[in-house]
Structure 1
Amino acid sequence: MPIEEESKRFKQIREELNLTQAAFAEQLGISMTTADIERGRTRIPGQVVKELLKQYQINPLWLFGESGQKYLRIGETAMSPKVVTVDNTGKENIVLVSAKAAAGYPNNIGDAQWFESLPAFSIPLPEYRNATFRGFQVDGDSMLPALQSDEWIVGKAVDDWDNLRSKSMYVIVTADSILVKKIQKDNQTTYINLISLNPEYGPIRIDRSEIRELWQVNSKLTFDLEAGFQNVSLHNLHQEMKELKEEVRRVIG
């Protein structure tokens, strides 16, 4: 791999950890800042590679472009929430991420001050205890009929890849987007398929290492029940028309 790409991945790690060059150097035991490495002036020292693996589970093969798996222990670093906020009693808040705020979410995933600026609330029910929860606003129609645009969903943080359920919906946070999908695992590789409920949208295939946070959808807030029923009816009609077209093609063919 060219040293420029190696440096780019090294810088990406620092930015995801929300550390300055000086602070990152201190964490890694470097006597100076990480500027020369990030600019491609020097190769990543072996001791630094060791510390990246030891402290952050960074796969050395990924660092040098020989693997698509970024973390060697998937789920501990890649999927856990980077920031949580609490109320004045010390209890965790449910932070609300609107469709507008979602555009900046991946870039501020470790910025506690940014999260403090978002609205938050709590729900005094047993279903919202003993875990970290986050609210996201649905944007788009890829999960119709279950979810419609502008509804709010509440997700429970996932920190163990083995706990994923094929029937559940998840909020998947990557480096540049927030998606709501079902997840289809491939036990033979580190890749997964993100599945939409709306048949107009095809599956999206990504590597598990691209996931920065993962939230299992456990509830939703909706304010337009009539629209919800209408969407279900339209979805059923769409499905019937699609099946009819396929049947016509088979007969003609």
Structure 2
Amino acid sequence: MNTPKYFFAQNIKFLRKRKQLTQQDLADQLSMTRVKLNALESGKTGAPQPADYFKFSDYFQLSIDTLMRIDLVKLGELKLRDLQAGNDVYTTGSNLRVLAITVDKSNKENLEYVPIKAKAGYSAGYSDPEYLAALPRFSMPNLPSGSFRMFPTTGDSMFPVPENAEVICGFIEDWTSIKRGTPCIVILRGEQDFVFKKVTMNAEERMLHLESFNQAYKPYQVSIGDVLEIWKYHSYQSKEIPKPVSDVQHISVAMTEVLKRLKKIEDKIEK
């Protein structure tokens, strides 16, 4: 199990300098001594008091969890302002997720690619800017606004998406906005991999229903607490030419449509 990284000490030092305050200035505003503030910034205080966390959280308008878990130095000014404006997962209590990204020289977001060799480490490094900085990244025209990432697919559970295709997905901030059966890449806590499934959100039970595209695989559910990130399918790239639709598939589609119409008729009769 990887030891989690905490950034509290370097974050409060960074935020103080960002506001162009001396240690004495900030210490006075937080009603603490400069010696104590220096110890907190240098990490010499191994276990700060809970009241200290609340003071910094209130003053900088960032949640305690963000101050501890996110390396703010590498987020960039625009993202910091966004967090302080209230779009902080831990402050709002919503399903918003803080996303670490990389940008090009023009401060435009890159499209990061997670190659096969990096798949196993993604669930541990997804929020680590150093991990993301080591990923291949490039820009792609005609993508809508938002943050995008490219993931490799393996196995046959994604049919009709070809095996070994690269799936381009957009980051979903608010999980409650997911429509029933939305194709997504789902990053699960503790997994050595990520999954590409049709996702249905059950907010009341705090569960995600995951269904494979290949009907040979049974659907299953996971707790929202076990989900790290969700990326909505946008498109895919593959070297394979799509196979023509077989007669059996045509029949299956036709039967599905007939069953839907029968269900609508039954519903009208019951009413």
**Larger gyration radius, structure 1 or structure 2:** 2
Output the CA distance in 2 between the equivalents of 1:157 and 1:179.
15
User: Which of 22, 41, 45 lines up with 1:32 in the alignment?
Assistant: 45
Distance 1:234 1:93, change over 3 A: farther
User: Which of 187, 192, 204 lines up with 2:208 in the alignment?
Assistant: 192
* Equivalent residue letter for 1:163: S
Structure-1-length-normalised TM-score:
0.64
TM superposition shift of 1:154: 0.6
User: Which of 122, 140, 164 lines up with 1:105 in the alignment?
Assistant: 122
Query: Partner of 1:133 in structure 2?
Result: 148
8 Å Cα contact 1:95-1:121 kept in structure 2: yes
- What root-mean-square deviation, in Å, do the aligned CA atoms of Structure 1 and Structure 2 show? 3.8
Query: Partner of 1:165 in structure 2?
Result: 179
TM superposition shift of 1:110: 2.1
Query: Partner of 1:121 in structure 2?
Result: 138
Deviation by residue 1:56-78 (Cα, 9 ceiling, x = unmatched): 39xxxxxxxxxxxx97824223x
8 Å Cα contact 2:181-2:200 kept in structure 1: no
Query: Partner of 1:183 in structure 2?
Result: 199
TM superposition shift of 1:166: 1.7
Structure-2-length-normalised TM-score:
0.60
8 Å Cα contact 2:53-2:64 kept in structure 1: no
8 Å Cα contact 2:201-2:208 kept in structure 1: yes
Output the CA distance in 2 between the equivalents of 1:48 and 1:193.
40
Gaps of 5+ in 2: 16-39, 67-88, 254-271
More RCO (CA 8 Å, sep 6+) = 1
User: Which of 84, 93, 109 lines up with 2:101 in the alignment?
Assistant: 84
Query: Partner of 1:248 in structure 2?
Result: none
Gaps of 5+ in 1: 1-7, 35-43, 58-69, 241-253
